[in-house]
Amino acid sequence: MTWKRDVRDVPLLPALAVALPLLLAAQTIEEQEWHLDALDIYSAQDQTRGDGVIVALIDSGVDAKHPDLAGRVLPGIGYGSSKGTDGTTDPDGHGTGMAGIIAATGRNGGALGIAPGVKILPIASAEKEQFSLDVVAESIRWATDNGAKVINMSLGFSSSMTPTLVKAVNYAIEKDVVLVAATGNEGKEVSAPANIAGVIAVAGTNREGKPWKSSNIGADTAIAAPAEGIVTAAPQAVFASGYAEMDGTSAASAIVSGVAALVRAKHPQMPAKDVVNVLIKTAKDMAEPGRDETTGFGMVNPMGALTAQLPPVERNPLLPPPKPSTTATTPAVAAQQNPVQPIADISDRLPFVGAVAGGTALMTGLLIALPAIRSRRPRPQATVHVLPPFSGRDTPPTPW
C-alpha cells in the first residue's frame, strides 16, 4: 500500500500551477464525490434518504463525533481489542470511511452519503493482528438480533468459508436481512464472506465505468459499483483534514449497502429477498447480457431499483435452487445443502490486514488533485474546503 501523491509534489505547467489551486479551492468535499453524479444519487435521494433503516457496519468502528456523521451512529459493540466498547470510536479510519459513504449528511459542504437518513450500527474490532471468520459470524448474528436491515461487510478473507459463517449468513437471510460484501482487491477469486450464497458480492469499477483492475472476480460476483478515488469522511485522529480518498471494493460494497437501504426505506414492507432481486434485476449490464464474473449483473442502478415494479420472488435469487425433496426446505437449509465451492484454503484465521487486502485498499488523507464533477444540486451555503495537507505520517496506517 502506498500514499497517493499530494498535488503539490506534482510538477505543473506555470498556467496550471496558478489555476489548479483555485479550482480545488472552489470545490466542497461533496463536489469531489464523483460517484454521486455518476450514479444519479441526487435523484434517488429525492425519492428517499433512507430514514428508518439501520445499516450494520462490521469494521474498525465509526467516529461518531465526526461532523458529517453526527446523529447517524447508534451504540454498537466491540470484539477483540475493542471488546467492552460500543464501536463509536475508530482508531483505524476505515470504518468511518465506510460509514461516510453510506450515511454522511453533507452538512456545510462536507461528505454526503448514499443514504444520509439511515442509522449506522457499528460492530468494531480494532484488533489488527487477528480478525477471524468466526468473529464476523458472531457480528452478523448480533447485527441481525439488534435491528439491522442491511449488513455491510467491507472486508474479505482469502481462507475458506467456515460452517459457522455460512450458518450466520443463513440466519440473517431467514431474519429478513440484506447482506452486502466486498469481493476483494487482489485481482483473484471472490473472497469470503462475499462468496457465500445469498450475499450480494460487490466488485469495483473505475471512473470510466469500466471494471476496476484490482477487483476480485468470479462466478459469485453479483453487482458492481464505483471503487476508485472515492472521497469520504475520516477521523481527524487518523487524517487531520477529516476526509480521505480511497480505492477498493470496500467502497463499492458501502455504496451498494447505501442503495439497499434506500430501497428498504422507500418500500418498508418489501422482504429482503425482493430487495436483493430488484438490485440485481435493475443493474445496468456492463458486459455480455446476463451475469458475468467481472461485474455480476452490472452496475448498481439506484433510480432503477427505487422505481422498478417487479413481482415478488419466492427466495433470495442469489441462493442456489432447492434440492428436490418430499419435505419443505427453507432457503437457509438449501444454502447449506448446496454450498458455494470455497476458494483455496490458506488458513482458518488470517491477519485482518491480509483479509482486507481482499476487502479494501488505499486510503489517503488528501483529496483528488483534479476537478471532480460538480454536484448538480445547488448548495449556496456550502463551506469551501481547500485541499488539506498530508497528515505528516511517515508510513500509511494499516488499511482495512
Known catalytic residues are: 59, 94, 250
Query: Hey, which residues does 143 pair with through a beta bridge?
Result: none
- 3-state class of 93 per DSSP? coil
- 3-state class of 398 per DSSP? coil
Helix axes 272-281, 249-266, angle to 10 degrees: 120
Of the candidates 334, 363, 122, 132, the residue with the CA atom closest to the CA atom of residue 244: 363
Q: Residue 311, class by beta-carbon neighbours within 10 Å (0-12 exposed, 13-18 middle, 19+ buried)?
A: exposed
Q: Output DSSP code: residue 284.
A: B
Sign of the Cα torsion 263, 257, 233, 29 reads negative
3-state helix, strand, coil in the chain (%, to 5): 30, 15, 55
CA distances from 207 to 88, 247, 253 (A): 32, 11, 16
Of the candidates 388, 98, 58, the residue with the CA atom closest to the CA atom of residue 227: 98
Residues in the chain: 400
Query: Hey, which residues does 78 pair with through a beta bridge?
Result: 124
